[in-house]
Every structure is written in structure tokens, then in C-alpha cells.
């Protein structure tokens, strides 16, 4: 990956690669779950720490067979052992379950796939009757074996006692001088144990990731599947190739999503919601009929029914908007509650505030909520009108129905149903001259 970050921690659909695989493994309800770590072990342990995971260290790294041997020391001695690799995020639960089922019959089960370009991958070698006889790594292939298109995915299952016996007997007799787990196939054949090959239904499900290009390709597979599922549920996507879901997106009926939108964490969109192009939503709930215009960024916010947001609006964590609220272009709202029907249509900042119903918050107005050490609250009553370019220095309360004249800076509460103006008187200085620069000297010949 040419990165300081361990490969299995690179992000796919907003989560580490290996986290996808761990969730699939958990669907099998295993008695024990072991992650073998090596380079970058501490980062992997920190990212994946969970009560049901045990970590074991492989040091030095000596191949997949040695990694399995290390893991077996932390597993129960009976039952079935399923082995997979951490950069295989899309392998389906059904494929893993099929391997376990075959292993429960006393077989060695391997997951394979037929791929259009097997270069660099280990091949499944069968005899004339079609029985699996061996798995040969790419570096060790004969010219005839290089023509095979059935590849090993790195996923195997076997009775634990057999797995332990075969792994213990492995020898590093290969081009890499490593202990290959794939060599246990030949050991099983020698012991007369059937080898069951389960071919993946879709080769995309078993694509491993070894570089940034492969990671990007798998990302598009995941996003394409998300888009397909959304459209099958009735969501209208302007372009299914231009949407990214990096968490969970739940949509009601008649939802429309324009191009370039990103959804992170848990996002809920109600019936009739419209999302304009290039919006980013993270951990957001949007109620029925709301509309988000282009380039709006919402994080940790709730949006009421029929609200209008954007374009170029930002809702930060704790922003809670009531129904029919309008938040316009270049308006930022943070840790504030805005009542039904209120509007902040242009170039404003609302932070640590509570706005009542039908408040008009003028262009260029801000709540000055931070004194350099502490945050302070602003309370604005129903039907209040805050003029353009006002500064409300918190803590402050603006009464119900109050009007604040444009350009005012208020540090004291404003009474209800009255006009409050706090600005210096306008002064004109007759005869004043604007300073001018002295002319540049004429250059000499």
C-alpha cells in the first residue's frame, strides 16, 4: 500500500478493511475469534479491540501456515477452524458457512474463484477427474499451471485436530522460504482426506487488496451495491456511480439524491427528502419533505419536516432544526435549537443558542458565544427579528417579538416587543481628504 498504516486498517466504505471481514465471521457465531498481527500490531489492536477478539503476534512473519499455527495455540482444540486473510472484505457469509459445513463432514474445505486474470495468485490444481490435488503459489507455478484460472482465495476450513496436525508438519520448501498454509491441501490428499472446493458465485466477492488501485476498485464495487439496493427500494439517484455511503443510510419513500453526495455514520432520510449535489451528511436525521441544496455539510444534526437548507450551509453537532426552518447560503449552526418557521437565510453564525418560532436572523448576524475560555448561551424569543450585521454577545436574552436594529452590537438583554438599537451615531466630517500615495519619481536615463 506504500503507507505507514497497516493494510487491513485502510478504509473501505468508511470502515477498516478487516472490520468488514470480522463482522462476516461473527455471523457464524464462533466460539473464539483470533486476529494474527505482525507489523503495525499495536495499531491493529487499538483499532479492532473488542471483547470477542483475541490477538496473537506472529514474529517474525513466516507465511500463512506459520500464522495459522500461532492462531491455533489460542483456539479450542476441538471443533472446526476457519482461516481467512484480513484483506478480503467482501467474502459473503454464505461462502464461509459452506466451508464450515464441509469441514463438519471431516473434509478440508477451500474457497476458490474463477477469475479473468489470475496473475500473481495461487492456482487450484486438479487431477483428470476434477479432484483438488494441490494449491500452488504463483511464484512456484509450472508453465502449464499458469494457464489455470481457478485461484485460491486464502480461505480454508477443517476439523481443528487435522488443521493442527497439517500445520505443524509444514516445511518452508518454496521460493519464499515461508510456511504456506496452501501446502496442507497436498497433506490432506496424502492422508486420504477429501478436499472440497467451494467456488465463489461472484469473483468480486473474493478480491484481495494489495495496492491503492485494488482498494479503489473494491470501493466502487461496494458503493455500486449500495446504490443498487437504494434504487431497488425506491430511492431516485441522479447517478448511481456517484454516491458514497460510509455507514448506514436509511431512506423513506420518494427520496431523491443528486450526484456526488457522501453519507457517513448513521443517516436517516424521511419521505420526500431531496438532497442536492455534493452534500455531505454524517450522523444526521432529516424529516419528511426537507430539502438540502448543493454543497451543504451536516454533521450530528437533526432537520425538521419541510426545512430548507443551503446551498453552502453548515450544520454542526447539536444543531436541531424545527419544521419549516430555512438555513441559507453560508450560514453555520452549532449546538443550537431553532424553532419552527425561523429563518437565517444568509451569511450568519448561530452557536450555543435557542431560537424560538418564526425568528428572522438577518444576514451577517452572529452569536458571539465564546469568550476565549467558555461558551455562553443566547436565547431568542418567538417572532424576534435580528437585523443584518448584528453581534449578540452571550450570555444574552432577546425577548419575544423584539426587533434588533441592523448593525447593533448587544451585550445586554433586549426587552420583548420593542426596538433595540446599539450602534454609534453616524458622523460626517466635512472637508476630509482621503490619503493618497506620493507619485513615483521619474526614472533617469
Q: Which of the residues are catalytic?
A: 346
Select from 112, 71, 106 the least CA-distant residue to 91.
112
Cα separation, 218 vs 224, in Å, equals 10
CB atoms within 10 A of CB 85: 18
CB atoms within 10 A of CB 221: 17
Name every residue whose Cβ is closer than 8 Å to that of residue 319 and which is 6 or more positions away in sequence. Answer: 298, 300, 301, 302, 333, 334, 335, 336, 338
Cα separation, 34 vs 72, in Å, equals 9
Select from 60, 20, 54, 11 the least CA-distant residue to 35.
54
For residue 172, with 0-12 CB atoms within 10 Å meaning exposed, 13-18 middle and 19 or more buried, which class applies? middle
Cα separation, 193 vs 345, in Å, equals 73
Backbone angles phi, psi at 233, to 5 degrees: -90, 0
The cell numbers describing 9, all together, are: 486498517
Residues pairing with 262 in the sheet: 244, 280
Burial 21-45 (b: 16+ CB within 10 A, else e): bbebbeeeebeebbbbbeebbeebe
Select from 174, 175, 196, 176 the least CA-distant residue to 185.
196
Q: C-alpha dihedral over 301, 303, 307, 310, to 10 degrees?
A: 20
Name every residue whose Cβ is closer than 8 Å to that of residue 402 and which is 6 or more positions away in sequence. Answer: 380, 381, 384, 385, 414, 415, 416, 417, 418, 419, 420
Amino acid at each position: 500500500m506504500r503507507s505507514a498504516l497497516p493494510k487491513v486498517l485502510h478504509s473501505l466504505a468508511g470502515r477498516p478493511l478487516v472490520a468488514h471481514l470480522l463482522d462476516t465471521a461473527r455471523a457464524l457465531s464462533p466460539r473464539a475469534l483470533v486476529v494474527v498481527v505482525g507489523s503495525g500490531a499495536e495499531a491493529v489492536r487499538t483499532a479492532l479491540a473488542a471483547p470477542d477478539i483475541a490477538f496473537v503476534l506472529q514474529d517474525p512473519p513466516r507465511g500463512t501456515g506459520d500464522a495459522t499455527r500461532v492462531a491455533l495455540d489460542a483456539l479450542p482444540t476441538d471443533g472446526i477452524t476457519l482461516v481467512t486473510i484480513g484483506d478480503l472484505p467482501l467474502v459473503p457469509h454464505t461462502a464461509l458457512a459452506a466451508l464450515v459445513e464441509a469441514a463438519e463432514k471431516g473434509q478440508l474445505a477451500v474457497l476458490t474463484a474463477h477469475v479473468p486474470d489470475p496473475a500473481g495468485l495461487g492456482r487450484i490444481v486438479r487431477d483428470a477427474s476434477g479432484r483438488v490435488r494441490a494449491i500452488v503459489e504463483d511464484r512456484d507455478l509450472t508453465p502449464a499451471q499458469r494457464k489455470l484460472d481457478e485461484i485460491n482465495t486464502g480461505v480454508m476450513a477443517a476439523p481443528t485436530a487435522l488443521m493442527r496436525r497439517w500445520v505443524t508438519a509444514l516445511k518452508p520448501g518454496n521460493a519464499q522460504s515461508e510456511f504456506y498454509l496452501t501446502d496442507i491441501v497436498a497433506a490432506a490428499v496424502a492422508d486420504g482426506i477429501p478436499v472440497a472446493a467451494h467456488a465463489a458465485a461472484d469473483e468480486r466477492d473474493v478480491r484481495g487488496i494489495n495496492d491503492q488501485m485494488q482498494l479503489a476498485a473494491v470501493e466502487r464495487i461496494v458503493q455500486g451495491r449500495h446504490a443498487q439496493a437504494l434504487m431497488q427500494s425506491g430511492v431516485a439517484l441522479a447517478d448511481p456511480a456517484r454516491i458514497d455511503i460510509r455507514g448506514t443510510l436509511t431512506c423513506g419513500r420518494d427520496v431523491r439524491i443528486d450526484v456526488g453526495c457522501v453519507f457517513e455514520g448513521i443517516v436517516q432520510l424521511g419521505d420526500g427528502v431531496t438532497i442536492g449535489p455534493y452534500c455531505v451528511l454524517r450522523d444526521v436525521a432529516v424529516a419528511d419533505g426537507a430539502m438540502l441544496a448543493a454543497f451543504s455539510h451536516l454533521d450530528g444534526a437533526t432537520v425538521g419536516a419541510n426545512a430548507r437548507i443551503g446551498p453552502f450551509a453548515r450544520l454542526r453537532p447539536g444543531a436541531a432544526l424545527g419544521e419549516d426552518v430555512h438555513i441559507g447560503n453560508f450560514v453555520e449552526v452549532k449546538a443550537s435549537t431553532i424553532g419552527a418557521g425561523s429563518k437565517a437565510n444568509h451569511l450568519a453564525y448561530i452557536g450555543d443558542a435557542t431560537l424560538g418560532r418564526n425568528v428572522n436572523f438577518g444576514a451577517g448576524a452572529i452569536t458571539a458565544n465564546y469568550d476565549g475560555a467558555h461558551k455562553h448561551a443566547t436565547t431568542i424569543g418567538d417572532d424576534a427579528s435580528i437585523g443584518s450585521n448584528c453581534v449578540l454577545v452571550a450570555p444574552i436574552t432577546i425577548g419575544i417579538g423584539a426587533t434588533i436594529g441592523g448593525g447593533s452590537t448587544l451585550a445586554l438583554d433586549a426587552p420583548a416587543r420593542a426596538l433595540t438599537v446599539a450602534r454609534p451615531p453616524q458622523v460626517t466630517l466635512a472637508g476630509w481628504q482621503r490619503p493618497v500615495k506620493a507619485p513615483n519619481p521619474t526614472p533617469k536615463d
